[in-house]
Amino acid sequence: MKSALELAMEKTESMVDEKAKLTPEQLEAIDEVKKEYEAKWAEQEIVLNERIKKISSETDPQTFAEHQKQFQDEKNRVREQIFEERDQKIAQIRG
- What is the share, in percent, of the chain residues with pLDDT greater than 90? 74
Alpha-carbon distance of 21 to 12, in angstroms, equals 14
Helix axes 68-94, 24-58, angle to 10 degrees: 170
Helix residue spans in the chain (DSSP H): 4-20, 24-58, 61-66, 68-94
The residue ranking higher by pLDDT, 91 or 5, is 91
pLDDT tens-digit map of 19-55: 568 999 999 999 999 999 999 999 999 999 999 999 9
Banded pLDDT at 77 (limits 50, 70, 90): very high
Banded pLDDT at 9 (limits 50, 70, 90): confident
